[in-house]
Amino acid sequence: MAELTDIGANELYVLEDKGTYVVWVPDGHLATPSGQRVESLTRAFLEHMVSELQQFPVLRLDGMAIGEPRVLSAYWLYASMLDCNAIGSEDVWAEVRLVDIDPFFHPTPGPEEIDQRAAWMPIKEYLQGNQIVYAPYYAEEERKVEAETALRTIWERLTDAQKSVVLNLSSIHENNVTSAFALVEDGCTEIEYANAVLATSLVHYTFSFPVDDLTPEQAHGRAFTELRDAARTAIDFLRFNMHRAIQTEALIRTGESKNVEFKSSLRWNLRTGKNDRVMTHACLKTISAFLNTAGGWLLIGVADDGQEVGIQHDGFTNADKFLLHLYDAIRSSLGEWAASCVDAKVETIGNSQVCKVRCESSPKPIYLKEKSGEEEFYVRHGPGSKKLGLSSIHPYITTHFGEGGGDAH
């Protein structure tokens, strides 16, 4: 490692650079340890990364990469994600040994196994949902190959971001690979993940070993908090990055949901045969709801039944003109910050062109400005967007965005 350079955390900035956003440090743009540039098409994720790094007053750079502190954060998860993509899934999988070392498949014989099995119930249910029959492999070695094959299938469907989380969490949490799988696929909550991992640790209260002059209960509580916070860091990272690799065709097959919505057009009313601002408002309402909730995709040019009707009805001469109109509408009605949380592109699906709008979960509340000047606030509610009344907006912002909710836009 080269000599490290100290910088203040307040010297990191997110800047726009030729259509993308980068994190700028005193002598250039921030990079990963392998030298890949830290950049994103959306600003919100990089702002989130910088806010995590700014928890440390001083950062130590190794070249243009963060050398210290080496703690679980969006930066290190992102760096691992790029490395996974560069190395290739096959070679990365070789590093995941799973059943051989995962404590989940090797419970502690004796009374402690009862506590472990209780803590592992959400993980067991996750496996059952993936047609994996749980059994401790010290008892049934012949099931090892069967389980590894099924887990390999899960691994292959994960995005690069999910793989990065699995690799990082399992490396720092005693090889609990299966619990990490469950976490990234919504098979368990952050608290359930912490309990599952803690059940394999020597600081679990049933072992009654003192740690750093703490009572077993105190050590248990501290370990639980650290595990839960690590899981939350990972989930925050996935909130921005986990769905980048999902194909448009897969979203159409899945159908509308809390995170996916279809719109036939951006401005053309297929029933009246005219341009209609109500159609644009409907798209903006969906985008704002995604931004204010957990993110998602709006597919323009797809009918409610999943038929690809295309965006040609909107009458733009090319895809660039379509996207320019969309972003202008977002900026004028939702604000610049909202536009920085959106990544839209036009793709050809079969014989039609479809606009795929990926919306990140915004760290700030987003208001939809009406033509009259009034503002509306939308969130996702099931497979639709719900307008909140005045009495509900403040409690939602306080709960979802934190006390104060940041700057409203």
The CATH number given to whatever domain includes residue 351 is 3.30.950.30
CA distances from 178 to 134, 135, 300 (A): 11, 13, 37
Q: Is residue 75 part of a domain?
A: no
Asked, for residue 80, whether it belongs to a domain, the answer is: no
Q: Name the domain count of the chain.
A: 3
Across 164-192, average pLDDT = 89
264 shares its domain with 382? yes
Is 122 found in the same domain as 96? yes
Same domain membership, residue 291 and residue 274: yes
Cα separation, 202 vs 76, whole angstroms: 27
Among 241, 267, 288, the domain boundary falls at: 241
Q: Are residues 372 and 294 in the same domain?
A: yes
For 185-318, where are the alpha helices, taking DSSP H only?
Answer: 190-198, 216-241, 248-254, 277-292
Q: Please indicate, yes or no, if residue 82 is contained in any of the structural domains.
A: no
For residue 43, what is the domain's CATH number? 3.30.2180
State residue 245's pLDDT score: 53
274 with 350, same domain: the answer is yes
Give domain status of residue 77, yes or no. no
Mean pLDDT, rounded, for 355-378: 89
178 in a domain, yes or no? yes
Cβ 231 vs Cβ 223: under 8 Å: no
Task: Decide if pLDDT at 301 tops 50.
Answer: yes
**For residue 12, what are the domain limits?**
5-70
* Statement to judge: residues 142 and 219 lie in one domain: yes
253 and 188 belong to one structural domain: no
What's the whole-number average pLDDT of the chain? 83
Q: Which of 259, 285, 299, 261 is nearest to 366 (CA)?
A: 285
Q: Quick one: 315 and 331 in the same domain?
A: yes
Q: Indicate the residue among 241, 273, 296 that finishes a domain.
A: 241
Is 91 in the same domain as 237? yes
Q: Both 384 and 253 in a single domain?
A: yes
- DSSP readout, 318-377? SHHHHHHHHHHHHHHHH-HHHHHTEEEEEEEETTEEEEEEEEPPPSS---EEPTTS-EE-
Clarify whether residues 232 and 302 are in a common domain: no
Do 231 and 145 lie in one domain? The reply is yes
What share of the chain in percent tops pLDDT 70?
A: 85
* pLDDT tens digits, 104-136: 877 777 777 777 888 889 988 888 877 776 666
Look at residue 361 and tell me if it is in a domain: yes
